[in-house]
Amino acid sequence: MKSGWAMIAAMLLTAASPAPGPASVGDLAWLAGTWVKDAGGEWTEESWSAPRGGIMLGHSLSGAGDTAQGFEFLMLQPGAGGVPAYVAQPGGKPPVSFALVDHGPARATFENAGHDYPQRIAYVRDGNRLTATISLIDGSQAMSWTYRRR
């Protein structure tokens, strides 16, 4: 009988506990730092600031040898309803926003079905390793970069 009451008490406490709040940019702090990929003379660097003032700023630079071939300005900020948004400006073009649709302690997925390509941007961190993958919403035409923390 005691175990039955304990189970009921536990269920009531769980039901009374507030639901976790919506995700915030601070939940993505695990992305902060400088991430580097070097392979066969080609390189890519992606850097993210720590969250401050509700945003994270980032940039990406890629090239070969001593020549830069592409860059991108990045930002994580509160979007619609406060849900974090990944805002990208490849090559300094107008910004494109992707809403956070899934996240965990070391992973985040952002989507924008109305964008041509990519429509999905996903990050997964495993210790000092970060994998970034872009694709269409259905996961097709995927391209990935695996970085090491500098």
DSSP-assigned letter for residue 50: P
Tokens of 130: 């970060």
CB atoms within 10 A of CB 106: 14
113 CB-near residues (< 8 Å, 6+ apart): 119, 137
Among 69, 67, 51, 70, CA closest to 59: 70
Residue 14: per-residue pLDDT: 41
Which architecture, in CATH terms, is 22-149? Beta Barrel (2.40)
pLDDT digits (tens), the chain, 150 positions: 444 444 444 443 344 333 345 799 999 999 999 999 999 999 999 999 999 999 999 999 999 999 999 999 999 999 999 999 999 999 999 999 999 999 999 999 999 999 999 999 999 999 999 999 999 999 999 999 999 999
CB atoms within 10 A of CB 97: 15
Which secondary structure element, helix H or strand E, spans residue 97, and what is its range? Answer: strand 96-104
117 CB-near residues (< 8 Å, 6+ apart): 134, 136, 141
Residue 19: per-residue pLDDT: 37
Residue 119: per-residue pLDDT: 98
CB atoms within 10 A of CB 115: 16
Residue 22: per-residue pLDDT: 75
> pTM of the prediction?
0.85
